[in-house]
Amino acid sequence: MLYPYKKNNQYGLIDKDGKIITPTKYEYVDHFSEGLIGVDEIMTYRHLFIKKRTRSIFSYIDILGNTIIQDVNIISGQPFSEGLAFTRFKKEEKDGFINKEGEIVIPPIFESQFALGFSEGLANIRINNKYGFINKKAEEIIPFKYDSAAEFHDGFALVKNRSKKSFIDKKGNKLKTLKCIIDDSTYGGFKEQLAVISVSKKSGIININGDLVIDPIYDMLGGFNEGLCPARKNNVYGYLNPSGEYAIEPKFANALDFRNGVAPATLDKKQWGLINTKGEFILPPSFDYIQPFGEDDYTYSKANTWPLTLAHQGQSKYYINAEGETILEYESKEDKQKFQNEMLETAFRKKVKAQEIWDKAKWAHDGVMITKKGAVKPFYFLLKWLLEKNLLTTEGETIYQDKNNLDICIARFMVTDLAADFLDRYYKVWFETEAIANFQIDPDMSFENNENLDIYWEFYLSKRNEQ
């Protein structure tokens, strides 16, 4: 298992003990799967009269950092699953599957540019914006008729048509169960032969026969992992066993999945630690947040054998193991600050076009990705920040008072000229760099340290004063 670390905005790889396997030379790294990991390596070369150029080359490397698969015609690839990886071919401008020797198993015949890979012998593929399933001979097994489709787990896959979700078996037959809404907290399907459902806005559990095994009486269920399921009731979290009994009594303000025998948990939503299967803290609450083992900054791994996870503390992130020991800093605060200053300097010097509207509130009508609350949350946060800085016009202050307006936008007439110039230069950079879209997807997230807006603003003012 290899893990990325970051320096000078490039990635290197370490092992579970923090030993550096490859130096920082990658533009992007995926997650480790079946002995290989996909990377984009930054290569420098000379070209005629130009001294040097850089380009990114995709390849798969092994646990020792050796390049195993590198083909100039393969420009990207998904993690390996059941011995195959979904890859993009440059010449054909289509997608196919390769094996671990780099040989083409399924030719590049798909134009989907998306697939989660094989699970239980089938792969979900998107063609003409519809999902279906193929086998390893590229034969269509389940027709392409779904708006979305997850991987197979325990013989079933979660699919959606319009706003209605259901489970299907490997013949495309729907699982017969009670009238309910299938919950997204199952990470795409059954886990340990159990899945979360909702009835009248309360969560319960069904099994692979469609039988209700845990009554829908909970405010939230996180799905089973290692025989335990996070359960929230009356704003307090505990853990259920498959019989629906509390294995760990409710006492947490938030609690996440078990992996490697431990789970991140917090008593006050401010400081996170690691608990064991008895509910005891083996790492006392000391971090701002701890990710579940198997979850990185990009994906949620299907494997249960991730020895390390990331713990957040202020502007820094650290790798910790299941014993709660700190292994290595993911990215140093000093290095992050250096890159941030370079980014802010570039954004200030860049010639920008005056925008009348920087952003508008948008939400998904089926509520799957962005709820109404999530759609407007970043806008009211930004308006509040501008109000505290005396950067709103009278019109802007009036609009701020009209809470939860789905037609809200951040427009030039709402802010002062100084604020408008600042937003022209930094709004897009801030939104993308600080991952503000996450607050739209999960509106229960809280803004911390103004999401560094003060840093952007102070840097902007200092540069204006230099002119």
In this structure, is residue 420 part of a structural domain?
yes
Summary count for the chain: helices (H), strands (E): 6, 35
> What's the token pair of residue 411?
């427009």
Cα–Cα distance between 158 and 151 in angstroms, integer? Answer: 7
Is there a domain that residue 423 lies in? yes
Residue 38 lies in a domain: no
- Residue 302 counted as domain residue: no
Contacts of 129 (CB under 8 A, 6+ apart): none
Task: Tokens 């700190």: give the residue.
Answer: 326
What is the distance between the alpha carbons of residues 211 and 415, in angstroms, rounded to a whole number? 56
The total domain count for the chain is 1
Give the total residue count for the chain: 467
Helix axes 417-433, 453-466, angle to 10 degrees: 130
Task: Give bridge partners of residue 270 from the DSSP assignment.
Answer: none
382 falls within a domain: yes
In-domain check, residue 453 = yes
Question: Is 88 a member of any domain?
Answer: no
Interatomic CA distance for residues 108 and 128, integer angstroms = 16
DSSP 129-159: TEEEEE-TT--EEEEEEESEEEEEETTEEEE
Which residues constitute the domain of residue 353? 334-466
In whole angstroms, what is the distance from residue 376 CA to residue 406 CA?
A: 6
pLDDT digits (tens), the chain, 467 positions = 888 888 877 889 999 999 999 988 998 898 889 999 999 987 766 655 555 566 789 999 999 999 999 998 999 999 999 999 999 999 998 999 999 999 999 999 887 656 778 999 999 988 887 889 999 999 999 999 998 888 999 999 999 887 788 999 999 999 999 888 886 655 557 999 999 999 998 999 999 999 999 999 999 998 899 999 999 999 999 999 999 999 999 999 999 999 999 999 999 988 999 999 999 999 999 999 999 988 654 344 455 567 899 998 877 889 999 999 999 888 766 666 666 677 778 878 887 889 999 999 887 654 445 777 888 889 999 999 999 999 999 999 999 998 778 889 999 999 999 999 999 999 998 888 887 887 877 777 778 778 889 989 999 999 888 76
Q: Is residue 363 part of a domain?
A: yes
Contacts of 208 (CB under 8 A, 6+ apart): 154, 155, 156, 175, 190, 193
Q: 274 Cβ partners below 8 Å, 6+ apart?
A: 262, 263, 264, 265, 281, 282, 283, 290, 320, 322, 324
